[in-house]
């Protein structure tokens, strides 16, 4: 997969009196590590106060036994993070804790709020002082400052004002709450643990903990766990726009979304791709590991044998030791190593999940040729990404998206492949097997499920240098589907 397409975060929460909730949260986050590798954090509560430990790095780098022992209580929330809004700083690690008239509150957020600048300035006018640059703090402050005598009233007001993508875990000294935005853009599921409840971004976290999957948290729904038991309420009108990239790339293949296991969905994407873009070839290989299932699907549909022609060093990119110039020049070889004996003289179908900036794709194609491949036919299990994501997926600006600026033939030439085929939007929907109106497809179509402020479009269209009038027209007419 292109390393330039990155997930924003993973969230987890557990309410389980009598259990070691810090340890449960640690292992929950460990299962969600693929969703964010920049920082991690756990907040716990014992009915009197909150405890917090956050740090930069992988979950296993941030926490040791001693840290977990300083996180007492019967409920906890956890977070793994990639930076979206707010830069890559330890102070932006989550969960964040804020103090308010309602008491302390910790919050972890997956997604991105498109109107956070407006909400932030409204709150500043009310006298709220912010300590981070994240939209997560905006959400937390908007929640504790919302009018209402009950959490239900506050959440209802918050969800009416927030626009964008958010799966949230929130902890007070007395309760754990989890919420999913009215689009249901980011995943969030509910499970039952012996003597308690868990919420997590993906079902794979429940599986590792031996928790029973109950159901997905509905779009616009809030789940509240406390000494009074489990309470759920709908705080906003639901209108689905689930991020289809969860099926294509982000979610772990052993997770289940909308009752569909991700791995066979990815196989179906590969099979559909083989129907739409067949190739005369000798072997199919997938860019490990996210495209492996799709490559198997392509192989089964086409009858061309699947081989593992590329081996991935799974731990590259998970270190804070910066490579020196010599190591940097090794480029994609640091991450992938081809198997020449399997490639020599072969016509290869190379399956990947996406091309974002194409900074990796060309070097991988060239690596396969150097390893002996006679032809390289690139096949992509997503449609061309032509528009930026405003909902928490870091894919850069429209200027950086190669498919936003070049034709398929120009991209083929740029990456040096013998042929290039992208899955169609209709083929993608057919392979996933769920109704089209359940999904956000904005990065493929430019049609956003909620209006995106013009100011934000401008940011996504940077850099300004070289921008011409045509680009401003696109910017001003960016299509949006306004949903009630
Ligand atoms: S724009 Fe693309 S990446 Fe972003 S939420 Fe929509 S489908 Fe997902």
Measured by CA distance, the residue closest to atom 2 of ligand 1 is 443
Ligand 1 contacts (CB < 6 A) are: 185, 243-245, 389, 391, 393, 440-443
Q: Which atom of ligand 1 is nearest to the CA of 385?
A: 2
Q: What is the pLDDT, as a whole number, of residue 464?
A: 36
The Å distance, Cα 123 to ligand 1 centre, comes to: 28
Mutate which of 7, 84, 114, 245 for ligand 1 pocket (most atoms within 8 A of beta carbon): 245
Measured by CA distance, the residue closest to atom 4 of ligand 1 is 389
Per-residue model confidence as pLDDT tens for the chain (484 residues): 444 555 569 999 999 999 999 999 999 999 999 998 889 999 999 999 999 999 998 999 999 999 999 999 999 999 998 755 445 566 678 999 999 989 999 999 999 999 988 999 999 999 999 988 788 899 999 999 999 999 999 999 999 999 999 999 999 999 999 999 999 999 999 999 988 999 999 999 999 999 999 999 999 999 999 999 999 999 987 779 999 999 999 999 999 999 999 999 999 999 999 999 999 999 999 999 889 999 999 999 999 999 999 998 866 555 555 566 666 666 777 788 999 999 999 999 999 999 998 888 999 999 999 999 999 999 999 999 999 999 988 787 888 899 999 999 999 999 999 999 999 999 999 999 999 999 999 999 999 998 887 656 555 544 433 333 223 222 322 333 222 2
Measured by CA distance, the residue closest to atom 6 of ligand 1 is 440
The Å distance, Cα 443 to ligand 1 centre, comes to: 6
The Å distance, Cα 445 to ligand 1 centre, comes to: 10
Q: Which atom of ligand 1 is nearest to the CA of 244?
A: 7
Q: Which atom of ligand 1 is nearest to the CA of 439?
A: 7
Q: Which atom of ligand 1 is nearest to the CA of 388?
A: 1
The Å distance, Cα 393 to ligand 1 centre, comes to: 7
The Å distance, Cα 441 to ligand 1 centre, comes to: 6
Q: Which atom of ligand 1 is nearest to the CA of 395?
A: 3
Give the closest residue to 138 by CA, choosing from 122, 116, 118, 158.
Answer: 116
Mutate which of 5, 443, 447, 483 for ligand 1 pocket (most atoms within 8 A of beta carbon): 443
List active site positions. 9
The Å distance, Cα 382 to ligand 1 centre, comes to: 12
Q: What is the pLDDT, as a whole number, of residue 311?
A: 92
Q: Which atom of ligand 1 is nearest to the CA of 387?
A: 1
Q: What is the pLDDT, as a whole number, of residue 139?
A: 96
Q: Full-prediction pTM beyond 0.75?
A: yes
Q: What is the pLDDT, as a whole number, of residue 290?
A: 87
Q: What is the pLDDT, as a whole number, of residue 320?
A: 54
Mutate which of 219, 381, 389 for ligand 1 pocket (most atoms within 8 A of beta carbon): 389
The Å distance, Cα 56 to ligand 1 centre, comes to: 26
Q: What is the pLDDT, as a whole number, of residue 7?
A: 58
Mutate which of 440, 444, 478 for ligand 1 pocket (most atoms within 8 A of beta carbon): 440
Q: Which atom of ligand 1 is nearest to the CA of 392?
A: 4
The Å distance, Cα 15 to ligand 1 centre, comes to: 31
Q: What is the pLDDT, as a whole number, of residue 267?
A: 98
The Å distance, Cα 353 to ligand 1 centre, comes to: 14
């Amino acid at each position: 997969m292109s390393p330039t397409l990155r997930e924003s975060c993973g969230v987890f929460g557990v309410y389980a009196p009598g259990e070691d909730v810090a340890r449960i949260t640690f292992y929950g986050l460990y299962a969600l590590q693929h969703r964010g590798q920049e920082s991690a954090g756990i907040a716990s509560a014992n009915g009197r106060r909150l405890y917090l430990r956050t740090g930069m790095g992988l979950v296993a780098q941030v926490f040791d036994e001693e840290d977990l022992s300083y996180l007492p209580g019967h409920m906890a929330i956890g977070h793994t993070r990639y930076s979206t809004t707010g830069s890559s700083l330890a102070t932006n690690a989550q969960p964040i804790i804020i103090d308010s008239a309602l008491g302390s509150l910790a919050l972890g957020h997956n997604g991105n709020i498109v109107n956070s600048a407006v909400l932030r300035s409204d709150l500043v006018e009310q006298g709220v002082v912010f300590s981070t640059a994240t939209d997560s703090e905006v959400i937390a402050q908007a929640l504790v400052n919302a009018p209402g005598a009950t959490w239900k009233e506050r959440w209802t007001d918050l969800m009416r004002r927030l626009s964008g993508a958010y799966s949230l875990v929130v902890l007070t000294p007395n309760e754990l709450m989890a919420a999913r935005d009215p689009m249901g853009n980011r995943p969030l599921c509910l499970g039952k643990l012996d003597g308690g409840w868990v919420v997590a971004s993906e079902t794979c976290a429940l599986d590792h903990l031996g928790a029973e999957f109950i159901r997905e948290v509905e779009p616009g729904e809030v789940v509240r766990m406390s000494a009074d038991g489990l309470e759920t309420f709908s705080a906003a009108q639901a209108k689905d726009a689930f991020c289809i990239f969860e099926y294509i790339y982000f979610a772990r293949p052993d997770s289940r979304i909308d009752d569909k296991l991700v791995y066979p969905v990815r196989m179906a994407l590969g099979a559909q791709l083989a129907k739409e873009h067949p190739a005369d070839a000798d072997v199919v290989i997938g860019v490990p590991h996210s495209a492996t299932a799709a490559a198997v699907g392509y192989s089964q549909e086409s009858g061309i044998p699947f081989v593992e022609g590329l081996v991935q060093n799974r731990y590259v990119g998970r270190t804070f030791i910066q490579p020196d110039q010599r190591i940097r020049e090794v480029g994609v070889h640091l991450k992938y190593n081809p198997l020449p004996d399997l490639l020599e003289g072969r016509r290869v179908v190379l399956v990947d999940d996406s091309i974002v900036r194409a900074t990796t794709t060309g070097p991988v194609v060239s690596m396969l040729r150097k390893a002996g491949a006679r032809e390289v036919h690139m096949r992509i299990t997503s449609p061309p990404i032509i528009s930026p994501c405003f909902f928490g997926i870091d894919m850069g600006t429209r200027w950086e998206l190669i498919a936003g600026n070049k034709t398929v033939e120009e991209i083929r030439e740029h990456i040096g492949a013998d042929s290039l085929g992208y899955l169609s939007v209709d083929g993608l929907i057919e392979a996933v097997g769920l109704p089209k109106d359940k999904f956000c497809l904005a990065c493929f179509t430019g049609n956003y499920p909620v209006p995106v402020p013009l100011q934000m479009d401008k940011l996504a269209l940077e850099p300004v240098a070289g921008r011409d009038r045509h680009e401003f027209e696109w910017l001003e007419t960016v299509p949006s589907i306004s949903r009630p």
